[in-house]
Amino acid sequence: MPLAFVEAGRRVHIVGVNAGQGLQGRLAAMGLVPGTEIDVIMNSSRGPFIVAVKGCRIILGHGMAQKIMVA
């Protein structure tokens, strides 16, 4: 399922990224690669989408979160 559909408070694993090489590289630079465990901190229709990865909080656009597949 896309990360954009995960409610706040859940922990998920990234299983893939459905994006071009540019976005994949940008996400990889932030530590968002397949196999990584992430915590969804905030997911609201209005406002930022915030995740915690390896002790850091990252703000993503909802479009980016839609391309990150998680389980």
Would the pLDDT of 45 be above 80?
no
pLDDT of residue 48: 84
Whole-prediction pTM: 0.92
Taking all residues of the chain, what is their mean pLDDT, rounded to a whole number?
A: 95
Would the pLDDT of 47 be above 90?
no
What is the token pair recorded at 54?
Answer: 């390896």
Nearest one of 54, 56, 63 to 36, comparing CA atoms: 54
Q: How far is CA 14 from the centre of its chain?
A: 8
- Segment 16-34 mean pLDDT: 96
Domain count along the chain:
1
Distance CA 61, CA 50 (A): 9
The domain of 48 spans 3-70
pLDDT of residue 16: 97
Supply the CATH number for residue 30's domain.
2.30.30.90
